[in-house]
Every structure is written in C-alpha cells, then in structure tokens.
Structure 1
Amino acid sequence: MKLYYAPGACSLTSHIVLRELGHDFELERVDILTKTTETGADFRAINPKGYVPALRLADGEVLTEGAAIVQHLADASKARDLAPEPGTLARTRLQEHLNFVSAELHKAYSPLFNPAASDEAKATARANVGSRLDYLERFFADGRDYLLGKSFSVADAYLFVVANWSARTGVDLGKWPKLAAFVERVRARPTVQAALAAERLVAA
C-alpha cells in the first residue's frame, strides 16, 4: 500500500491508523499547492480531487476521503477495537463522530489556513471552531478517555489530527481542558509518535 500525504494534514489520520494496524506501507509526500508528489508525479492523476489523503491498495485501487479510508482499513483487518462491527449502533456512533469531525470541525478550521482570509474572516472562523470545541468539551465531561468510551478508534485518530491544528491556527486548547487532555492522551500513543516523526512533525 502507498499513502499519499501532506505533513500534518488530515492524511495524518490514515497514517496513524496504518501504524495502529501494523501494516507495511509506503509514504509519498504531496505538495498540495503544486499538486505534485515528491517523485514528480501529477497528484491529480492519482486523485482527481487534488487533495490528500489517497491510499493506493495492493491491487492498485485508490481510495480517497479519510473517513472512508480508515473504516476500510479497520474492516479489512477486522480491527473491531478501531471500528465496531458494521450495522451495529456502535458503528453508527463511530460514523456520527467521523462525520462531525469531517463536516463540522475540519471545515471550521479551514479558513484559518487561508493566507488570503481577512482578520475578520479568521475571527469568525475561530468563533465557529470554538463552538464545536465547546460541544466536544461537554462530550468528554463524563470522564471517557475516547469518543467511544475506553477504546481508541479511527474517529479518535481523526479528532486528534484536527484538534492538533489549534496551535498552528491561534486557537488556545487550554480553554477546553478535557479536550486538551484527550489530545495529549492520543499524542502519547507510540503509533502516533511514530507517524509524527515520519512526517517530521517531531524529532525522530
């Protein structure tokens, strides 16, 4: 398998899950501005959408969209700790969390990475991010370690990656201590440390 990624982008979620599952895989970095890979390939020929992640499977099929990729990986490995059995309420809860992170939290951060966005637009974006972090802070108020309770799942990998953008975008997670504790809990996982080091986001 080969994962096409950009350092610290949402593709880090798939990277973490690949390591959680113990898969052998290659990494190929993508310049998201020029749409070329580190080997000089046109990334749009791999993923016409032009954004990461993209995962080339052993049979040559290419999967896109992080939430779909991580569920496929967990299902193919029958890793029910990472993704509950399809058709169960627990699996629907997992999809609920993945959809929230993707459609609400991820998209709320997006304007903060746009260098052309005005200060007013960024202030609005930070307020939108804050309202979603307020929800997550309340969600973790019952003392759970992870989104599904005590067990780490693919949704936790995605939430970690997106919430971790806070430091780069001027969002102080200290205002949401339960969520901040979750982020540090996930960061401490050996697979997460390995993925961060491989993407040169921390020292190896």
Structure 2
Amino acid sequence: MTLITIKELYQIMFDQMGPQGWWPGESKFEVAIGAILVQNTNWKNVEYSLDNLRRTTLLRPDKIHALTSKQLEPLIRPSGFFKNKSRCIVALFNWLANSNFDWDELAIQSTISLRSQLLQLPGIGSETADSILLYCLNKPVFIADSYTRRIFTNLGATNFKNYAELKTIAEQNLDLTLAQFQEYHGLLDDFGKENLKSWSASFLVPYQLTNQK
C-alpha cells in the first residue's frame, strides 16, 4: 500500500483520467442553475430541465429573473423537488440582480462573505454554495460532496466526520490553482460515478491517504 497526500491523489487521478472539463455549461448562469437542479437527482434529469429553460428563456439572466416560482416549476419538473428548487432559483437570481447579474462584480468580495450570503438563500447548502463559488465566482474552494467523502473513506482517511471537516482539511493541504481545484472536483465526481461500485478493480486500490490535518 502506497501512502499519498491529498495533492498527490489529484495528480494520480489526473494522470490516469485526463481533463474532465468541469463544470458542464455554456454560461455561468447555466452552471449555477445546474448546481441547484442536480441536488438529489442525476445529471440526465438536469439536462431535461435546462433544455426547457433554454427554450423558454435562452438562459438569459433577465428572463430567468422575470419568472415566478410557479412559472419555473413545470420547466424544472424533470429534476424533481421542483417546488423547492424553483424557490431556490428565484432567490439566487434576486441575489444576482442586486449586482446586475455581474459575476465579476460579485467576485470582488471575499470567499467567506460570498459563501455566507449564498448559504442564507433558501435551498442552497454547502455543496451548492461551493459549486457556485468554484465555477461561477472563480474562488478556489474544495467541494467535499458525497462521492468525494466516499472516495476518501475508501482510501483510508479517518480524519473527518462530515462535509465541513473534509473541506477544511483539503483546503489547508492543497496548493492548487483555480483550474486545478475545478478539475479536482470533476475528477472525483466522474471517478465516483464510474468506480465506487467496483472499487476493487479501480486504479486507486494500491493507495492510502495520509491523515493530514
């Protein structure tokens, strides 16, 4: 068994899998909506909802902002939990409207401040907030989602109990560029989808994570 660090894990995965091109989306608004819609469902269902929104609004922020929750619900029904998710999208676009839908203007603020604001919006939890921070606001954060936690657990990591603890440990031990943080999440999620059910046959079997602090 070969001991590796969290940063070495990134390099091993990148060397084996190559660039994953995350997050899929033609605009940051599409990415942000996708981060909400993907909660508790699969990406195929998200694509159906995004196609509906694209036909109706061209995914223009002003047109999305003009929709009420009731108008959004049938458009995003394929993603499930459409009532809660519609309220979340409305709240997010109300928040974005305060900055004239300008991601660059928002990104001037600190990561801590932006994360706090996002977490105050209905329906946005840690994973969704961090996804928006990483892919829309260009903040180098680590997304400790369920795939990632399971991968780290399978690699023998015992130094975290929840999302927040793993996020903190990873961010303290990763000296990566923004693009690498974005890539790391894509690598972990795509690996999780393909390999967690057949772990014993995966290329990560020979490795064990050191318990970094």
For normalisation by structure 2, the TM-score amounts to: 0.35
| Structure with more contact order per residue of length (Cα contacts < 8 Å, sep ≥ 6) | 2
Work out which of the two has the higher radius of gyration on C-alpha atoms and give 1 or 2.
2
For normalisation by structure 1, the TM-score amounts to: 0.36
